[in-house]
């Protein structure tokens, strides 16, 4: 199967499997797993932060960050199309008593500065206290768009002016850095905390890393423990993350190029409309003249060996990754043409 549903379907590379087999391990809850410690040092250095924390998933990393930044009844400003708002089961409220304050995401994944400022609460006994602003880079639901360092710095200045912290859900931050042609530290320099995912385009089997100041990571480590994320001999997993950081970040441009090739091919098919492509995430949709429901289109592709996701409002998402090659793109385009009957 050609699996374009997500870059989370990536499998570990042979180098990762070898590193996992040979990993030196210890008890990470005691701080004694040397491979985890090495990964955390590497991650902190790559993000330009003092410290880092290996977590089981990006959702856990984001929630641990929110719990470290906020107390019960505090408020978080985040985009209404953000992963934290849409796809993390309301964890900030359910487990942290934190109040989400969604503001509209723009098509490029940004939040208008005036919308953020308008959402910040004044000092009033009737209101929750605004503590945190959250951004997402790249922005999954906004066509995988990368947020620039200049924009992030503008939000950071606004946050500091009001005494707020800024967290970045950087699940695909290396995709953003490659797409923008900058060092990843330029995209994280102004934020107080950042998560990034090892198990999406970087191909590790499990895990994300949360980075920030030493004091912040100490608080996040306590939050990770209460969330059940205190893993023991986790070096077996961290070893794959080290290979991901050493070998997989620079090759992401190949995934972006294949996503563009897929977009160009789809745009030449009748009935197909394609959103702008900046990274490895492609959204497209069919007009009514195609005579197919979204379910029929997805099922027809699956019958031809191609998997992709149907999203809301009749949109489809395809995500390129390490295990998608040039011939896979061509076969996908042929399958789309067959399902459309052209």
Domain boundaries, the chain: 9-247, 251-340
How do residues 130-160 score in pLDDT, each as one tens digit?
999 999 999 999 999 999 999 999 999 999 9
- Predicted TM-score of the model (pTM): 0.96
- Cβ-proximal residues to 269 (8 Å cutoff; 6+ apart), any chain: 333, 336, 337, 340, 342
Residues facing 336 on adjacent strands: none
How do residues 8-57 score in pLDDT, each as one tens digit?
999 999 999 999 999 999 999 999 999 999 999 999 999 999 999 999 99
Q: What is 251-340's CATH topology?
A: 3.90.1150
Q: What is the pLDDT of residue 217?
A: 98
How far apart CA 137 and CA 221 sit, in angstroms, is 23
User: Residue 311: pLDDT above 90?
Assistant: no
Rounded mean pLDDT, 224-242: 97
Q: What is the pLDDT of residue 234?
A: 98
How far apart CA 81 and CA 48 sit, in angstroms, is 27
Q: Is 116 helix (H, G, I), strand (E, B) or coil?
A: helix
Q: What is the pLDDT of residue 145?
A: 98
β-pairing verdict for 130-136 and 165-169? parallel
Q: What is the pLDDT of residue 22?
A: 98
- The verdict on whether omega for the bond into residue 138 sits within 30 degrees of 0, i.e. cis, is yes
Q: What is the pLDDT of residue 312?
A: 78
- Asked if the domains 9-247 and 251-340 are classified in one and the same CATH topology, the answer is no
- Assign domain 9-247 to its CATH architecture: 3-Layer(aba) Sandwich (3.40)
């Amino acid at each position: 199967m050609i699996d374009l549903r997500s870059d989370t379907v990536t499998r570990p590379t042979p180098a990762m499997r070898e590193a996992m087999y040979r990993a030196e391990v210890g008890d990470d809850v005691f701080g004694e797993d040397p491979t985890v410690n090495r990964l955390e040092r590497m991650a902190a250095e790559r993000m330009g932060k003092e410290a880092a924390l290996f977590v089981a998933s990006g959702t856990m990393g984001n929630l641990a960050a929110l719990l470290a930044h906020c107390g019960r009844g505090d408020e978080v400003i985040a985009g209404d199309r953000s992963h934290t708002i849409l796809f993390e089961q309301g964890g900030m409220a359910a487990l942290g008593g934190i109040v989400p304050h969604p503001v509209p995401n723009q098509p490029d994944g940004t939040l208008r500065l005036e919308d953020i400022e308008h959402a910040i609460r004044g000092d009033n006994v009737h209101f929750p206290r605004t503590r945190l602003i959250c951004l997402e880079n790249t922005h999954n639901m906004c066509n995988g768009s990368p947020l620039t360092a200049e924009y992030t710095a503008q939000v950071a200045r606004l946050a500091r002016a009001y005494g707020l912290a800024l967290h970045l859900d950087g699940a695909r931050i290396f995709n953003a850095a490659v797409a923008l042609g900058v060092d990843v530290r330029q995209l994280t320099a102004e934020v107080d905390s950042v998560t990034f995912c090892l198990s999406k385009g970087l191909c590790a089997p499990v895990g994300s890393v949360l980075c920030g100041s030493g004091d912040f990571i100490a608080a996040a480590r306590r939050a990770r423990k209460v969330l059940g994320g205190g893993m023991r001999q986790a070096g077996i997993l961290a070893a794959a993350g080290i290979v991901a950081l050493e070998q997989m970040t620079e090759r992401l441009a190949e995934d972006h190029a294949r996503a563009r090739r897929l977009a160009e091919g789809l745009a030449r098919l009748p009935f197909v409309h394609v959103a702008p492509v900046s990274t490895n995430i492609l959204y497209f949709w069919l007009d009514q003249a195609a005579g197919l429901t979204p379910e029929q289109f997805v099922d027809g592709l699956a019958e031809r060996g191609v998997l992709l996701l149907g999203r809301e409002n009749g949109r489809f998402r395809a995500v390129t990754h390490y295990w998608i090659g040039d011939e896979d793109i061509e076969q996908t385009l042929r399958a789309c043409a067959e399902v459309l009957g052209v």
